[in-house]
Structure formats: structure tokens, C-alpha cells
Chains A and B, each alone.
Chain A
């Protein structure tokens, strides 16, 4: 596995950062993509200092169309060919549909749905025919279950799920392995740390740490798994989802919706949001 190189989008924080560490653990060279001023240079220096891998950084805004091609052009000029594509960058949301702006949804759909498709297209153009290649698309359990307050996010993740499964089918006889990662809640951003820790019982128990998700994800990707669902509880949820009749699932979700809109959660998410606004550049 010495000569493999991976490109990871959204690498400066959260799951992307932990995936970068995990790949470095496997001795995989890295191309890390993230927004400017998101701490990418520090992360790259840190990985170079602590692991024996090459790290190339690309600071770019993936919401801008002209930036996609320039990524692969830049790599070509640097003589780097990538064997692994991790489509990780994405924007979550946890709000009623009318509470977010047009601009937010536009960039969310672009980043979560369009970017993985186009990067996959560009990635496949440059892979060799005979060496093993891997694509890992980060979806979400939200792409499987209808979850309240995740309308657009869940829809983009459903899109990623369909795209990934279909592409896997198309490439099944090639050297390219395509996997979907469908995690539940992950403790990443500050506002999620606050929100997740206000949860109780099973919802709290289903939340995982990013390093655990990254470990399971990369292992599953190299094993060529179709869909990777980290956490036993989440796997149980997936099983239940396939067994329960749609009517019962509807009732459960409606009850959850009521709970979520209850005052208590509203205050907490408002606090979490304000924390986000203040802490993020």
C-alpha cells in the first residue's frame, strides 16, 4: 500500500481530518483539500512531522465551479496521480426549511451533491487501468431515513447514495472500488458537541467520535464494502428500517418531530447556532 495517494475534501476539520490521519496511518500519501484559512497548512505540517507520508495541500473553495478542474490540473503539474478519492466535504443543517436562506441551500446542494459527482468524473479520467483504486463517498443515515429538519441535507445525501450505488454497479468489473459511508451523528463541530450532549438514551448512544468513524470507514473502503454503517446501534436502526412497515415509521418520525420542535430543543439549538456563528470565521 506504499505508493497509494488519496485526495480528501473537507480535510481541515471533523471527519475529514480524522480520515486524513487514518490514511496516513496506512502509509497513504495525501492531497488535502479545504477552504483557505481553515488551518490546512498547520494540519499538513503536523501530518508530515508525525507520519512518513507526503502531504500536498490545496486551499480552495469547492463551491466555485472553476476550482474543480484546477485541482486535478495542479496535481498533474506536480506529477501526482491519485488512487483514492474521499468525497467528504459537505454542509449539514438542522433547521426548519424556512429558517435557512436561498444562498445557504444553493451552496449546500452544490457542495454535497454536485462536487462529489464532478470530482469523481475528474478522478476517473486520471486513474490507471491496472492498479486498485478506491472511491469513498460520505453519505449519511440521513440519506436513508426521513429525518425532521434535515430536508435538503437528507436529499443531497440520498442523491449521493443513489449515485454511489449506481456507479459501483457500473464499475463492478473494473479496478475501481466504490463505497458509500453512511454514518449517523458524529461529534465534530462545536455546536454539534453541545447538541449531541444534550441528547439522551439511544439517540445519545448512537453518536460516535470522528476517529472511530474514520477507522471503520477506511477499513471498509479497503475491504471494498458497498455501504459502511459505523456503530452497532446504527446498523440495528438500518435493519429495523428495512423490517418496519412504512406506516409505523411515519408515526415514529412524527412523534420525533413533535419532540424536536418542543421549546427545550429550540433553545439549545439556538444556543448552538449562535456558538457556531461566533466561533466560525
Chain B
């Protein structure tokens, strides 16, 4: 189930997440999941890259590169190694969406500390409450010709 590739960008970078933001904000299917309000940190520790994505209502409000502390000062952050991020994104590109072994839910239970982490159990639950939206968000990376830094 290949998706149309709309742009090229390098992971991890603000440009890559911005490209994803543009795709999502034009995607009617994403809106059909319902509103999603969450500030989500993205951590790629080996690369020393940290981002905060702000999901609001029916779209993505903003993406910014930040430091580790700011990435953790969110509702929850998603953290995995650079290789694991790469594997997930390649899997999505190959299949058009994450296969059963690479969904956010699967990765979350496979990692002893979870993919989604937080300092607050209630705020971490936003990962589960809006899970279809977040999965849709990352599945849309199939529309980016991703280069890896």
C-alpha cells in the first residue's frame, strides 16, 4: 500500500517534521480521527536531537527543535534510539503504514520503559487516548522521501 511521495527531507530535523506537519494539515483522513491536543516531545538521544510537536484540534500547530529538558517538559515524549527511529520510518515507507511489528503501540510495549514516557501518568495517557492520530501522523512519513543524517 504505497503512498505518494510528496517531498524530500532528512531525519531528524525540523524540516522533516515540518514536511510532516504540512502533509497532516492537508489530510482530511487525519481530521476524521477527531481532535487531538497534546504537546509531544521527540527524543533521538544519539543524534543529540530533541523536538517538541504541538498537536491542536484537527491539526499540527507547530514543530520546534529544542533541548532535552524541554522535550521532557511536555505531556509525554517518544524516545527510541536513532536505529530504532530509522527502522520504524523505513518500515512505514516500505509498507505505506507501520506493519504489526512497528506500530507505536507495539514499540511502546516492547521497550521496558515504553516508547511514550512522561513524568505524569495522566499526561502520558494522552499517547493512548489519541493513539490513532499519532499513528496516522507517523504513517504519513511514507509520503516523505526520507534521508537519514
Same complex: no
- Chain A residues with a Cβ under 8 A of chain B: none
- Chain B residues with a Cβ under 8 A of chain A: none
